[in-house]
């Protein structure tokens, strides 16, 4: 005998769409998890979806023999631009396998280590900007981390300079992408008939996509016409063959994956860095501890790859930030068979989309204790991180469809944050600021402003 999965009352046709906040859907899902507990379900325009919120249930749906990623909801709409690119491909689409096998080594730890200097080139632009602007200037850290992450992924993976730091506004590509992602999310909860009459919104959506597509196509065409000696990711995509099928990537697939890297490679890392600054500013004793370690390890010189292993507290701060605020707050799987969850408690029909609530599961009291809502990097070091139960910490997804850019993001954030902490004293412009969220495909803090003052003798 199974237990029914709880669901808030639904209305005909729209189902539970009205239960979800349009601006920050995550807030509604979190509220529902507080109300209903470990599992609940919603009807979204006729589609039944299950949400799981605890480590035990997430651990179950992380079994790749029983469950598989399925691109649904807002992510399915992102396919309008990037089709079967790595992030948005359905498991059965062959282009995923080709791109995965070609690009896994290109995103491996060793390959990423070789990107250290191009990454530093971009990071130095951020440091110089904050230094030159001085302590009187109000900084939007989310904007500047977007610039860093966006320029770093484009320069390191395709040797293309976005030059975001040389413009007051964010690059048009980044603006078009943010609008496109918000609209993709909205489309997932809009009835088709309503969508069809929203002519202005639809035209803008098409224009944004066209803008991004033409830049990606231009980058590919330019490289084909003017090959360069550098063996970057674009070169791998253009010139390598899949060892399994002998096939190369089509030009369309290359452009789609370039856009995928630009989307997946900047939203998440920039959100992570903004969350990190927030938690460090709200916990000054943790900031002091971090600064002391950075100073001890670096002794005033620029951070090198070899230092990363010694920056154990910085690593703990990064892990704890991703626990408290995983920028990719949810992912989707489907069950491959009719099955049950919760050791036989809840019946799940084959093919039902299951949303993995990573954000909520990262606060599971059973794993993290009663202080799960507190920022405590100490819980992530001295062997405690390694001793966590399987799948308790999942900011990068899991298994075959886990994040391909993890090593890249890790190195980038280490480099940026070690350099910032070493050089600057940071402060909130409004010390009473408490975190509000902004949501596109990912979440990041909204409306946070800081000041950065160069330490004496650190120029
Ligand atoms: C997949 C998180 C940085 C590229 C994923 C997934 C998560 C994730 C949760 C799985 C999504 C799912 O199951 O639907 C993050 C976080 C990052 C980060 C938290 C930074 C802090 C990056 C970077 C890149 C990247 C820098 C650069 C290219 C990708 C791609 C996939 C992916 C291509 C799809 C992989 C596949 O399905 O084969 N990421 N990501 N990510 N990520 Fe990241």
**Of 431, 416, 428, residue with least CA distance to 453:** 428
- Known active-site residue 156: no
Of the residues 268, 274, 440, 442, which is catalytic? 268
pLDDT at 35: 97
The structure's pTM equals 0.95
Number of Cβ within 10 Å of residue 28's Cβ equals: 15
| CA 106–ligand 1 middle distance (angstroms) | 15
Of the residues 51, 155, 403, 440, which is catalytic? 403
pLDDT at 458: 54
> Which residue minimizes the CA distance to atom 32 of ligand 1?
403
* Position 329 pLDDT exceeds 60: yes
* Position 457 pLDDT exceeds 70: no
* Position 260 pLDDT exceeds 80: yes
Residue located via tokens 């391909």: 404
Q: How far is CA 267 from CA 30, 166, 339, 455, in A?
A: 21, 20, 35, 29
* Position 165 pLDDT exceeds 90: yes
> 344-364 pLDDT, tens per residue?
999 999 999 999 999 999 999
Q: Report, in angstroms and rounded to the nearest whole number, the Rg of the chain calculated over CA atoms.
A: 22
**Of 201, 260, 212, 329, residue with least CA distance to 79:** 260
pLDDT at 189: 78
Q: Which of 70-79, 201-210, 385-394 has the lowest mean pLDDT?
A: 70-79
**Of 87, 83, 408, 401, residue with least CA distance to 250:** 83
pLDDT at 27: 96
Q: How confident is the model at residue 441 (pLDDT cuts 50, 70, 90)?
A: confident
Judge whether 403 is annotated as a binding position.
yes
pLDDT at 74: 86
* Position 67 pLDDT exceeds 80: yes
pLDDT, mean of residues 271-294: 98
- Known active-site residue 403: yes
* Position 155 pLDDT exceeds 80: yes
pLDDT, mean of residues 316-322: 98
> 208-217 pLDDT, tens per residue?
999 999 999 9
pLDDT at 28: 96
Whether 448 contacts 141, CB under 8 Å: yes
Ligand 1, closest atom to CA 85? 33
Residue located via tokens 């093919």: 351
> 82-107 pLDDT, tens per residue?
999 999 999 999 999 999 999 999 99
pLDDT, mean of residues 381-410: 97
| CA 39–ligand 1 middle distance (angstroms) | 25
User: ipTM of this predicted complex?
Assistant: 0.99
Q: What is the overall mean pLDDT for the chain? A: 94
pLDDT, mean of residues 30-53: 95
* Position 392 pLDDT exceeds 60: yes
């Amino acid at each position: 005998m199974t237990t029914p999965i709880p669901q808030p009352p639904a209305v005909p046709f729209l189902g539970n769409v009205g239960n979800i906040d349009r601006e920050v859907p995550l807030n509604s899902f979190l509220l529902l998890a507080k109300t209903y507990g470990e599992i609940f379900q919603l009807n979204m325009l006729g589609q039944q979806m299950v949400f799981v919120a605890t480590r035990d249930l997430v651990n179950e749906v992380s079994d790749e023999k029983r469950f598989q990623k399925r691109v649904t909801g807002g992510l399915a709409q992102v396919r309008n631009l990037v089709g079967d690119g790595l992030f948005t491909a359905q498991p059965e689409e062959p282009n995923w396998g080709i791109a995965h096998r070609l690009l896994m080594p290109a995103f491996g730890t060793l390959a990423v280590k070789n990107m250290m200097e191009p990454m530093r080139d971009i990071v130095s632009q951020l440091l110089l900007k904050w230094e030159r602007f001085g302590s009187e200037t109000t900084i939007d850290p989310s904007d500047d981390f977007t610039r860093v992450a966006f320029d770093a992924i484009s320069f390191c993976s395709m040797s293309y300079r976005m030059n975001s730091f040389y413009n007051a506004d964010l690059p048009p590509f980044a603006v078009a992408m943010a609008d496109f992602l918000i609209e993709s999310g909205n489309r997932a909860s809009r009835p088709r008939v309503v969508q069809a009459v929203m002519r202005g919104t639809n035209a803008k959506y098409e224009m944004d996509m066209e803008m991004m597509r033409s830049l990606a196509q231009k980058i590919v065409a330019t490289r084909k016409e003017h090959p360069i000696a550098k063996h970057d990711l674009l070169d791998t995509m253009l010139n390598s063959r899949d060892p399994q099928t002998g096939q190369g990537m089509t030009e369309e697939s290359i452009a789609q994956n370039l856009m995928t890297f630009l989307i997946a490679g900047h939203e998440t890392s920039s959100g992570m860095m903004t969350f990190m600054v927030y938690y460090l500013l709200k916990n000054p004793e943790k900031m002091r501890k971090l600064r002391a370690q950075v100073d001890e390890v670096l002794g005033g010189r620029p951070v090198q790859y070899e230092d990363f292993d010694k920056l154990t507290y910085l690593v703990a701060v990064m892990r704890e930030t991703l626990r408290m605020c995983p920028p990719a707050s949810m992912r989707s799987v489907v069950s491959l068979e009719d099955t049950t969850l919760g050791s036989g408690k809840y019946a799940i029909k084959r093919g039902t989309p299951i949303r993995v609530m990573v954000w909520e599961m990262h606060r599971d009291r059973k794993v993290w204790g009663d202080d799960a809502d507190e920022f405590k990097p100490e819980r992530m070091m001295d062997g405690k991180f390694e001793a966590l139960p399987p799948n308790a910490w999942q900011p990068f997804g899991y298994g075959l469809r886990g994040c391909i850019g993890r090593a890249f993001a890790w190195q980038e954030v280490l480099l940026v944050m070690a350099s910032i902490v070493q050089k600057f004293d940071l402060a909130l412009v409004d010390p009473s600021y408490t975190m509000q969220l902004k949501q596109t495909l990912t979440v990041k803090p909204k409306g946070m402003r800081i000041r950065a003052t160069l330490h004496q003798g650190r120029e």
